[in-house]
A and B are shown apart, each in its own frame.
Chain A
Amino acid sequence: MALWTPDATAVAKNEFVGRRLFERQGLKGAQDQQRPADTYEIYHFEETRDGEVSLDRLGKTSVDGKVKNYLNPRSHYAATLLHKKEFLGWAVTQAKAIQSPPNSYTISPSPIAAQDGGPVTDKGESLTENKFHAHVAIPDRLTPYEMAVILAHIFEKDYRFENAAPAASAQKSEGWFAAAIRKVRSLWG
């Protein structure tokens, strides 16, 4: 079965969405404290771009294994190069938990195109591309901290953590030939 092609105009209520979680060191002097079960620290939901909180669309009606396989190497790549942290997996919820009252936040599809000359997977697919990217815009009335608390609350309600698959060891930079082929393919359609 082919990889799911998400609707580029809207995120349906039954879709499953995930927020990437990256490893972070705990408070140095508080190593003896007990981490509460089935909760997320709010730093996982703090915005990293202007006024938007990024999400991945993980499947149409459940977490789709193929989508997860597509996102896994890209998430590891982002973790290593952008965040300098280890990618752990996703906090998962259904889109309607974010979109429906009392929360009523819009999730907008925002796929990310591949960067020319960027790194590729073993199959020659771009690691900088993300067909399943979406985001929640932070309303003006809320501070980034408030939004982070709200999103952490939503994702904790029906707590579901989707583990990351181990990072693939072989990630290589796109060579000139692969880049040329991809460019020709994009020109033809």
Chain B
Amino acid sequence: MVKATAQAYSDIWFRQPISEFIFEFPAAPAQHQIATQSLPSDQKLGELTGPVVIAAKWISIIQRRIKQSVADFPADPNQEGLLDSDIATYAVCFFNAVSDVLPAKEPYLYTSNKGDLVAEFAGRHGKLTSIVGKAAVNSFAIIDGRMLKTTLSYPLDKIKARRELMRITNQL
């Protein structure tokens, strides 16, 4: 069976015989050349990267604030205003993954009595409070007297995290 491709057709040779024109296909090498070339259509769907998210404007500021708040090793548990390095890492990963679905205004950061990082986002209808701990990120909002909450465990499922947070921030 003859497999015609653009490349193959481009390699069709013409010659003028004694009697009249005839087509002559080249031998196998052209087909081999095509197989070794990578084409955009060769990429499998699963490998395709989706649209690139645009991070929130505040992301670099928040990253800086978090990084500058990491306690020296070994950390003094009684020292206020400092973050455990693990919590700081989780927080940076969390904000990098979901900043585009969080409120546009930068969050207010502080630590809880347990040393977890608290980020408060102001919204039109309420406040979103995200608490980054060592085991999970808990997010709460009270809208019209009803509490909306989500717990996102590590390792963070980026798609689930975005979906869950959007469920809350859409009402904020």
Contact = CB atoms under 8 A, between A and B. Distances in A.
A41 interface: yes
A43 B113 contact: yes
A29 B110 contact: no
A43 to B, nearest CB: 5
B81 A25 contact: yes
A25 B80 contact: yes
A115 interface: no
Contact of B108 (A36, A146, A150): A36
A25 B108 CA distance: 14
Interface in A1-36: 24-30, 32-36
Contacts of A30: 65, 68-69, 109-110
A114 B141 CA distance: 40
Contacts, number: 75
A24 B80 contact: yes
Interface residues of A, number: 26
A102 interface: yes
Interface residues of B, number: 32
A172 interface: no
A106 interface: no
A26 B140 contact: no
Contact of A29 (B65, B80, B118, B138): B65
A150 to B, nearest CB: 7
B151 to A, nearest CB: 9
A110 interface: no
A10 to B, nearest CB: 24
B129 interface: yes
B149 A41 contact: no
Given A102-B146, A149-B142, A153-B142, 14 more contacts: A25-B81, A29-B66, A29-B67, A29-B70, A30-B68, A30-B110, A33-B109, A34-B108, A36-B122, A43-B110, A103-B145, A145-B140, A149-B140, A153-B127
9 contacts: A25-B80, A33-B108, A34-B108, A39-B127, A42-B112, A43-B112, A143-B138, A150-B147, A153-B127
